[in-house]
Amino acid sequence: MQDPFGRSISYLRVSVTDRCDFRCVYCMSEDMSFLPKTEVLSLEELDRLCGTFIRMGVRKLRLTGGEPLVRRGIMTLIDSLGRHLQTGALDELTLTTNGSQLEKYAVDLFAAGVRRINVSLDTLQADKFAAITRWGKLDKVMAGLKAARAAGLQVKINAVALRGVNDDEFDEMIAWCGREGFDLVLIEVMPMGEMGDATRLDQYLPLSMARAQIQRRWTLDESDYRTGGPARYYTVRETGGRLGFITPLTHNFCESCNRVRLTCTGTLYMCLGQNDAADLRSPLRASDGDADLEAAIREAISRKPKGHDFVIDRRQAPTAVPRHMSVTGG
């Protein structure tokens, strides 16, 4: 599959649920209203949709949420998708998680063919973690990370850079990830979902500033390491670990975008930062055959835009798109 700008679409991110057991301040409102179950695709329908994308050229599949591991029966889907790894049709099956359920599922994930996971963790301080996630408990995530490492999973820590919240912890997190053997990726706040103007603007920290701060202590060597995602990586000379930056606002990565995003309702977003979307649930349910579904996917890819319109500025509304990050899965 190629979009209008000649980019090959080989990476599908699938939000298997909009529900989560955390309420992170940059992702959700505390009083979130979730989708009724009647609107959410069944695990069998998600399996069929993913299989169609893989047939059409997707080589990397990432499951997201919400929190993917809180979906009832999720391992049934992950086990089924693992068959595409065995046939060679899929290069990688992975997921992004908040880590709360990893202690329970780490061994099963590895058995299904998952080898690498992203864990969202913005602080190493328990009180601050509780404040950021509202409902989360740091010790539970740490137990999950220990279980993941014991199961053989490679771990990448995703940390959203929050001005005045965790910007004093970057050095500590780099050192900790170096000791644990985890990669670390810092991410700029993205203007998605209504959070309140002051909250969004006050959260935003340009990663150019974070990098300058980090380089006062650490030596960052250029790296050609890539995972297929948007992070640009460096090797931290003092620890040997990898440090990545995802900068949708200060330096966007649209020119090399190979991704589309499928929600748990069967809506396909061709760009995280645009509102245009395609309904795949209707053709999926209209026929047992996949011809109409494939046609709908091709038509959607033909509308993939050149880039996003993310802006955070006090002179204009800080919300580029109205849906929350948890709806699209990041």
Q: Was 190 annotated as part of a binding site? A: yes
The reply to whether 80 sits in an annotated binding site is no
Please indicate if the annotation marks 261 as binding a ligand: yes
Give the whole-angstrom CA distance, residue 185 versus residue 231. 7
Does residue 96 have a known ligand-binding role? yes
Q: Give the three-class secondary structure for 311.
A: coil
Annotated binding-site residue? 259? yes
Question: Is 226 assigned to a binding site?
Answer: no
Structure tokens at 47: 């399996």
Question: Is 177 annotated as contributing to ligand binding?
Answer: no
- d(CA 104, CA 117) in angstroms, rounded, equals 15
Question: For residues 242 and 233, is the Cβ–Cβ distance under 8 A?
Answer: yes
Does 257 show up as a binding residue in the annotation? yes
Q: Is 281 annotated as a binding residue?
A: no
Distances from the Cα of 68 to the Cα of 21, 54, 105, 245, 297, angstroms? 10, 20, 11, 24, 23
For residue 260, say whether it is annotated as part of any ligand binding site.
Answer: yes
Edge-to-edge strands, sheet with 154-161: 220-222, 232-236, 242-246, 183-188, 154-161, 116-120, 92-97, 60-64, 11-15, 259-262, 267-269, 277-279
Whether 237 has a binding-site annotation, put simply, is no
Q: Alpha helices of 152-206 — where are they, by DSSP H?
A: 170-180, 197-203
What is the Cα–Cα distance from 104 to 148, expressed in whole angstroms? 10
Determine if residue 233 is labeled as part of a ligand binding site: no
Q: Give me the torsion for CA of 74, 76, 77, 82, rounded to 10°.
A: 120
Q: Is 26 flagged in the annotation as binding?
A: yes
CA distances from 37 to 41, 45, 128, 277 (A): 8, 14, 33, 21
306 appears as a binding residue in the annotation = no
- Determine whether the annotation assigns residue 164 to a binding site: no
Please give the backbone phi and psi of residue 276, each rounded to the nearest 5 degrees, phi first: -60, 135
Q: Is 264 annotated as a binding residue?
A: no
* 155 is annotated as contributing to ligand binding: no
Beta-strand (E) ranges in the chain?
11-15, 60-64, 92-97, 116-120, 154-161, 183-188, 220-222, 232-236, 242-246, 259-262, 267-269, 277-279
Residue ranges for the known binding site for GTP are 13, 62, 96, 156, 259-261
Binding site residue list for [4Fe-4S] cluster: 20, 24, 27, 254, 257, 271
Residue positions forming the annotated binding site? 13, 20, 24, 26-27, 62, 66, 96, 120, 156, 190, 254, 257, 259-261, 271
Q: Which residues are annotated as a binding site for S-adenosyl-L-methionine?
A: 26, 66, 120, 190
